[in-house]
Amino acid sequence: MPYRAWFQCISGCSETYELNEVVYQCKRCGDLLEVKHDMEKLHRHSPEQWKKLFDERYRRTKWPYGSSVWGKKEWVCPTVSNDNVVSLYEGGSNLFWAERLGREMGIEDLWIKQCGNAHTGSFKDLGMTVLVSMVKQMIADGKNIPAVACASTGDTSAALASYCAAAGILAIVFLPKNKVSLAQLIQPIANGALTLSLDTDFDGCMKLVKEICSKNNIYLANSMNSLRIEGQKTVSIEIVQQFDWEVPDVVIVPGGNLGNTAALGKGFLMMKELGMINKQPRIVCAQAAKANPLYLSYLKDFREFTPVKAQKTLANAIQIGDPVSYKKAINVLKTFNGIVEQATEDELANASAQADKTGLFCCPHTGVALAALAKLLKKNMIRPDERVVVISTAHGLKFPEFKISYHENKLEEVNSRFANLPVEVSPQYDAVRTTIYRKLEQMSSGPSNAAGK
Ligand SMILES: *Cc1c(COP(=O)(O)O)cnc(C)c1O
Ligand SMILES: [Zn+2]
């Protein structure tokens, strides 16, 4: 008997749908769907058998299991045939012991999960491989799906465009004009997507793409489509696997549309249910203060949730005021003794730059997560002896304008404490030598951020 999975309404109205049905929300009550698995069947493997299987497949070359998403296929999306998997070898990203940064922040056991070291430079690949594979499966089964579309703050569109290009399917991306970085804009263009630049914000793009998809047979790739959450939940499994199946104490993730926060919890819950782990981490969602509806809800013990109008923030991928997955995220945070923290522009930019000075190259969203860590350490809500994993969501190279403006001290509301500008010096031995020794002197006398102002 094969492994089974299906969509199920999260409201408890118990509507279910096949995974190859074009459906994003419950048709009876309108609530979100989630993917459910035949747990009885999964229970027939012991935890040790699953661990062994996942470890044997991890980062090998047997199609499609070397991908860390498809290496856990039975737990993710068993109903796609291997022939229809569209994989670019996602997952398996570096889990980095940030020793020096941790020491500076006053915490010993700090790890950065480098989800941005990925094919399109963000964790979005983890979910998009599942969604596009299912589309390919549906097309193979005879469904008429001429294109796949998404609204995006930059990274979803890059992932969708790449996976669709790999599969030979048209991608249509809805981008808010002048609100994504140049690197994020060029990705779907390069991959041949129909790239729509719309004079609105993310929430405006989202409304439009939903209307286009619901009135035409174009498939919607936003994270209200819970197939993506299934792929993204493998981050939790992968982190635990990388720690030889030990669970960290705290995991911090930056949150915008809140799909990833939901996914993180789902992965841990599934491992717990199948006996793979016997404790659960605290989950922290970090938001930009300019787009903080979940933080505001947290301050009221999640008794209510009110969307906000997102303000412009350097952390553009989380500039979302009306997050689609807030209910799922709140459920996760309640289950995992969760915390929500926020970071100002100054805090996120300096946290990112401080991390860079210890060898990282952080995107602004990772800066939000690191700033949240610093604040929670200060408030004693995270202890310095705890093992903390910060999820780095995108590669810093996607955000060159952010980095350059920071070091030029030109970012609004930011005082660049770690600015490090190139030194113009005449091409002569003495001048170069003097410059080098001036720097060394500054470093031995000044504070640890000797390059700062
Ligand atoms: C999408 C994204 C996020 C936010 O994830 P959500 O699931 O929308 O909360 C954070 N950082 C980066 C770099 C992203 O691309
Ligand atoms: Zn329902």
Residue range 269-283, pLDDT digits in tens: 999 999 999 999 999
Region for 304 from its dihedrals, namely left if φ exceeds 0, alpha if ψ lies in -120 to 50, beta otherwise: beta
Same domain, yes or no: 264 and 350: yes
**Spatial separation of the C-alpha atoms in residues 44 and 49, rounded to whole Å:** 10
Pocket flag, ligand 1, residue 393 (CB < 6 Å): yes
**By the 8 A CB rule, do 62 and 55 touch?**
no
| Nearest ligand (C-alpha, residue 124) | 1
* 187 band by pLDDT with thresholds 50, 70 and 90: very high
Residue nearest to atom 2 of ligand 1 (CA): 317
Same domain, yes or no: 379 and 305: yes
Task: Give every CB contact of residue 338 below 8 A, 6+ residues apart in sequence.
Answer: 282, 283, 284, 285, 332
Instruction: Please choose, from the candidates 43, 109, 35, the residue with its C-alpha nearest in 3D space to the C-alpha of residue 76.
Output: 35
Same domain, yes or no: 323 and 386: yes
Give this prediction's pTM: 0.96
Pocket test for ligand 1, best of 122, 184, 287 (most atoms within 8 A of CB): 122
Predicted local confidence at residue 446, as pLDDT = 67
Predicted local confidence at residue 327, as pLDDT = 97
Predicted local confidence at residue 60, as pLDDT = 97
151 three-state secondary structure = strand
Tell whether 370 is covered by a domain: yes
Same domain, yes or no: 331 and 438: no
Same domain, yes or no: 310 and 426: no
Pocket flag, ligand 1, residue 254 (CB < 6 Å): yes
| Nearest ligand (C-alpha, residue 402) | 1
Tell whether 101 is covered by a domain: yes
- Statement: residue 447 has pLDDT above 70: no
Tell whether 138 is covered by a domain: no
Question: Taking residues 358-376, what's their average pLDDT?
Answer: 98
- Ligand 1 mean position to 316 CA, how many Å? 9
Same domain, yes or no: 402 and 427: no
* 339 band by pLDDT with thresholds 50, 70 and 90: very high
Contacts made by residues 304-309, CB under 8 angstroms, sequence distance 24+:
305/330
If one counts every other C-beta atom within 10 angstroms of the C-beta of residue 336, the result is 20
- Ligand 1 mean position to 23 CA, how many Å? 23
**Spatial separation of the C-alpha atoms in residues 24 and 30, rounded to whole Å:** 9
Tell whether 202 is covered by a domain: no
For residue range 3-47, what is the model confidence (pLDDT) as tens digits?
999 999 999 898 999 999 999 999 999 999 999 999 999 999 999
CATH of the domain at 232: 3.40.50.1100
Residue nearest to atom 1 of ligand 1 (CA): 317
Same domain, yes or no: 369 and 437: no
Same domain, yes or no: 452 and 376: no
Pocket flag, ligand 1, residue 281 (CB < 6 Å): no
Question: Taking residues 301-329, what's their average pLDDT?
Answer: 96
Pocket flag, ligand 1, residue 122 (CB < 6 Å): yes
For residue range 371-388, what is the model confidence (pLDDT) as tens digits?
999 999 999 999 999 999
- Ligand 2 mean position to 225 CA, how many Å? 15
Same domain, yes or no: 255 and 366: yes
pLDDT above 70 covers a percentage of the chain that reads 98
Same domain, yes or no: 402 and 426: no
For residue range 208-266, what is the model confidence (pLDDT) as tens digits?
999 999 999 999 998 789 999 999 999 999 999 999 999 999 999 999 999 999 999 99
pLDDT above 90 covers a percentage of the chain that reads 92
**Spatial separation of the C-alpha atoms in residues 369 and 146, rounded to whole Å:** 38
Same domain, yes or no: 377 and 438: no
- Ligand 2 mean position to 332 CA, how many Å? 19
Pocket flag, ligand 1, residue 364 (CB < 6 Å): no
Predicted local confidence at residue 451, as pLDDT = 46
Q: Which two tokens stand for residue 300?
A: 């009221």
**Spatial separation of the C-alpha atoms in residues 290 and 302, rounded to whole Å:** 19
Q: Which atom of ligand 1 is nearest to the CA of 394?
A: 13
Pocket flag, ligand 1, residue 263 (CB < 6 Å): no
Counting the structural domains of the chain, the total is 2
Same domain, yes or no: 399 and 426: no
Q: What's the domain range around 449? A: 422-453
